[in-house]
Amino acid sequence: MNRGCCIFAFDGDIDYGPQAVLAANLVKKHLNIPVSLITDTDTLEKIDTTIFDKTIITSVDNRDNSRILSGKNIAFKNVNRNKIYDLTPYDRTLLIDSDFLIFSNRLKEYLDSGYNFMICENMKDLCPNRSGSNFSFSPQSLHMLWATNIIFNKTPENKILFDLVDHIRENWAWYGTLYQFDTRRFRNDYAFTVACHIMGGLGAEKYYVALPSPILFNDRDSLVKITNTGLTWVAGDQNILVKTKDQDIHMMNKIELLEKIQALDRLYD
C-alpha cells in the first residue's frame, strides 16, 4: 500500500501556495513521506514546486465562501475538499490544510496503524478560559470534528463518506437546520462531522478514530519569535505568552502565517 500526504492550495484573497510549500517541507522533514499538491494553474505558476512529488491540477470551485479573518472579509476556495478521494495518488492518504504545520513525528504512529479513517477530534488551546477548539454545533447537536487533518484509505466505505460530504454541501441549508449549525458559509469541518455521524449509523458508533490533538492558534494570536528551539506566541486579547516546541500546530491566522513564512521556512533546513 503506497501512502503519502496531500495538500490543497488555491490562491484567493490569501496566497495558499507558499503555505503549502512550507507545510510540505515540514511533512517531509518530520514524517518522511511523499507529498502531493492539489491546486490550480494560477496558484501553481507562483510557487516553486520542487518539494512536491506530484502536482495535481484541478479546477477551482469559485462559489463564494467568505468569512471575516483578522478584521478582513476573506474569500476561501475550499469547497471541493471531498474530491480528495478521487484526486489522491495514494492508497493511504494524510490530508492536511496548508495552515497545519507539522513539527513532530506523532502522525507517523497513526499512519502506521491499520485504521481506515481517522480525523482530528479536538485541538488544544493553550490559553486558559478559551474553548474555541472544543465546539459543538449546539447543546443538542454534534461535537465538531476538524477536517484540518484526515488519514484515510481508499475503500468503498470511505468513497461513500466523501460522496456524502458532497451531498451535504449541496443541501447545506437543510443539513444546517437538521444538525443546528450556522449555514452562512460552508465549512468542511461541519460537513465531515455530519458525514461521520451518518456513516457511524447515525451515532450508533464512531465511524472514525481520533487523530492526536494539535495546538490551535486563532486569528487573535501572533507569532513573535521563531527559532530552532521553539516558537513564541502572544495569544488572545490578554497577550498571554505561550511557547511551542516539537508540537504540531494549526495556525488559523493565515495572514500572520504568510507574513512570517520566510522565517518559518528556515526551520526545515
Partner 1 sequence: MDDRLVKALAHADYRQTLGIERQRLKDKAHAELVIGYCGGIFTVDRTLIGFVNSIKEYGSAVILDDNGYPIEIENLEDFQARVIGTYFEVTNRYLTDYNEIKQKRTAAKLVDL
Lay out the site mask for partner 1 across 181-210 (x = CB under 8 A, - = otherwise): ----------------------------x-
Q: Amino acid identity of 99?
A: D
Q: What is the DSSP annotation of 192-215? A: HHHHHHHHTTTTTS-SSEEEPP-E
Candidates 28-36, 41-49, 123-131, 172-180; binding stretch for partner 1 (CB under 8 A): 123-131
DSSP 8-state symbol, 145: P
Q: Which is nearer to partner 1, 58 or 153 (CB)?
A: 153
Closest approach of Cβ 110 to partner 1, in Å? 6
> Shortest CA distance to 96 belongs to which of 22, 165, 40, 154?
22
Q: Does 247 bind partner 1 (CB under 8 A)?
A: yes
Q: Does 89 bind partner 1 (CB under 8 A)?
A: no
Closest approach of Cβ 162 to partner 1, in Å? 22
> Shortest CA distance to 76 belongs to which of 173, 9, 135?
9
> Shortest CA distance to 149 belongs to which of 216, 202, 220?
216
In angstroms, the CA 79 to CA 207 distance is: 22
Task: Using CB under 8 A, pick the residue from 115, 135, 137, 268 that binds partner 1.
Answer: 115
Candidates 3-11, 175-183, 212-220, 251-259; binding stretch for partner 1 (CB under 8 A): 212-220
Return the residues of window 226-245 that contact partner 1 according to CB under 8 A.
227, 229-230, 232-233, 240-245
What is each CA distance from 195 to 70, 94, 160, in whole angstroms? 30, 18, 9
Q: Which is nearer to partner 1, 104 or 180 (CB)?
A: 104
Show Cβ contacts of residue 167 under 8 Å, excluding neighbours closer than 6 positions: none
Closest approach of Cβ 180 to partner 1, in Å? 28
Closest approach of Cβ 247 to partner 1, in Å? 6
Q: Does 267 bind partner 1 (CB under 8 A)?
A: no
Q: Is 221 exposed, middle or buried (0-12, 13-18, 19+ CB in 10 A)?
A: buried
User: Which residues form the interface with partner 1 (CB under 8 A)?
Assistant: 104, 106, 108-115, 124, 126-128, 209, 212-213, 215, 224-225, 227, 229-230, 232-233, 240-247
